[in-house]
Amino acid sequence: MREQVREIFDAGVAAADPFEAVTAALQGLSRPTHVIAVGKAAPRMAAAVHAQFPGIPSLVITTDQPVPDLENTQVMIGDHPVPSELSAAAGEAALEWLSAIAQGHGPEAHVLALISGGGSALCVAPVEGVTLAEKASVNASLLGAGLDIVRMNIVRQALSRTKGGGLLRAAAPARMTSLVLSDVVGDDPRAVASGPTAGPISDVAEAQKIVRDAGLWADMPASVHAALSRVERKGTTPPADVLMVGSNALSVQAMGKAAPDAQVIVAALEGDVADAAAQIVTLARSGAGMWIMGGETTVLLRGTGQGGRNQELALRVARELQDLDRPFVFLSGGTDGRDGPTDAAGGLVDNGTWARIGPEAEALLENNDSYAALSRAGDLLQMPATGTNVADLQILWVG
C-alpha cells in the first residue's frame, strides 16, 4: 500500500506542473514585453513563456537547480530557506532591472511576473537601515516561535523593499501581470513569496504588534525597532493584476481523482504539527478508509535537530499510531520535494516505523531531529526537486 499512497501523492505534484499551468494561462493574455520569474518554479514557468515568445527579455531568480537555456535571459541564484548574499544580489538586480524598464519604456511596457513559492528567501532587499544578517535573524526568530505563514509574511513585508508589492512598485508605470503558483493555504497572492507583485497583506503597525505578541520585540535589533515604528506612505502600490495558475487545493483535487474511493478533506491542515498529528490520529482510529488533504503546518522549535514540518508530522503520527490494531500508511510531503533544510520531501510511515527507529526515537523527536529518526526507519520521502511548490500534501490509509 505504501507504493499506492506514493503514486497518489505524485498525482498531486503533477497537477501543479509549472510549465503546463503557465501554458494554459497564456492563452488569454496579450503579448508581454518582459518577463521576471521568481521562486522555486521560476525556470519551468519561464520556459513555458519562452515556448510561446522565444527570446523575450527575461530575468529568472531561483534556487540552485538546472535552468533551461533560454535566449535573452539572465539567471540569478538565491538561497532558500535562509536568504544569503546571493539572495540579496538577486533582490537588488530585480529592483534595478524593473526600474530600468519603467524608465526606458514607461506605460508602454508589459511585464509578465511569474511568482512561485520560495521567492521570499530567494529575492531579498531589506529596508534602509536593516542589514541582511539582521533580517535573517528576525526570520529565524519568527520560524522558531511557530508563527503561521501569514503573520510571518506581514513582518517580512514590513522589512523589505521587494516583498509586499515592492517589485510592482519598481516597475511602475509599466503594466504588470502576475501568474502565481500558490504555495500558501487560501491562495492569497499577497502571501505567495511574500507578495512581491501583489501588494502588502497589512501594514507596519500590524507587523510590530505581531513581533510584540510573539514575545520577540526585546530581542530585535534597534534597526528593526526603527523600521517597524516608521510611518508608512499610503497609496504607493499600483493595482495588481494577478491570475492564480496552480494551488494546493487543485493538487488535492487531483489526488482525489487518482483515488476516487478516498475521502477528500477540503479544510486545510494547518497549525502546529502536534495538533495536526492529533487530527490524523483521530481519523486513523475512526476505522478503515483513505483520507486525502493538504495544507501547511508549523513547527515550534525546541531542539537543535534537523528536519521539517512534514517529517515531524509523519514522525508524530508514527508514534501515536504504533499500537493501532489495523495496518496504516501515512504520507506527508512538500510538493517541491524539499522539507525544511533537508534533501527529503517529508515522511512515509506505517505501523512499524517507531519500532524501526529504535530506543532513541522519543529523544530524536524532542530534539526536532525528525530527519535522523525517519532515516533510521527507512521512511524518509525522498525525490528530486520537482520545480513546483504548492505547499504540502497528506494521505492517510487505514486497512
Number of C-beta neighbours around residue 304 at 10 A: 8
Residue 7 lies in a domain: no
- pLDDT tens, residue by residue, 325-371: 999 999 999 998 999 999 999 999 999 999 999 999 999 999 999 99
Measured CA to CA, the distance from residue 229 to residue 240 in angstroms comes to: 26
Q: Which of 218, 246, 274 is the last residue of a domain?
A: 246
96 plus 231 within the same structural domain: yes
Residues 237 and 282 in one domain: no
The three cell numbers locating residue 126? 531589506
Is residue 229 assigned to a domain? yes
Same domain assignment for residues 385 and 240: no
Q: Is 183 helix (H, G, I), strand (E, B) or coil?
A: coil
When computed from its CA atoms, the radius of gyration of the chain, rounded to whole angstroms, is 21
Q: pLDDT digit string (tens) for 159-212?
A: 999 999 999 999 999 999 999 999 888 889 999 999 999 999 999 999 999 999
State the average pLDDT over residues 35-61: 97
Q: What are the C-alpha distances in Å from 390 to residues 13, 41, 200?
A: 8, 10, 20
Look up the pTM and report it.
0.79
379 found inside a domain: yes
The answer to whether residues 65 and 185 belong to one domain is: yes
In a domain, 12, yes or no: no
Which of 181, 216, 246 is a domain's end point? 246
Residue 324 sits in a domain of what CATH number?
Answer: 3.40.1480.10
List pLDDT tens digits, range 4-44: 999 999 999 999 999 999 999 999 899 999 999 999 999 99
Structural domain of 384: 249-398
Amino acid identity of residue 145, one-letter, is A
Task: Please name the residue ranges forming H helices in the chain.
Answer: 2-14, 18-26, 42-52, 85-105, 119-122, 132-144, 149-158, 166-171, 204-213, 222-227, 248-258, 273-284, 309-320, 353-357, 361-366, 370-377
- Over the stretch 369-386, which tens digit does the pLDDT of each residue have? 999 999 999 999 999 988
**Residue 293 covered by a domain:** yes
215 shares a domain with 80: yes
What gap in Å lies between CA 254 and CA 11, rounded to an integer? 6
Q: How confident is the model at residue 139 (pLDDT cuts 50, 70, 90)?
A: confident
pLDDT in tens, 88-98: 999 999 999 99
Number of compact structural domains in the chain: 2
Q: Which of 206, 222, 246 is the last residue of a domain?
A: 246
Q: Is residue 151 part of a domain?
A: yes
Whether the predicted pLDDT of 58 surpasses 90: yes
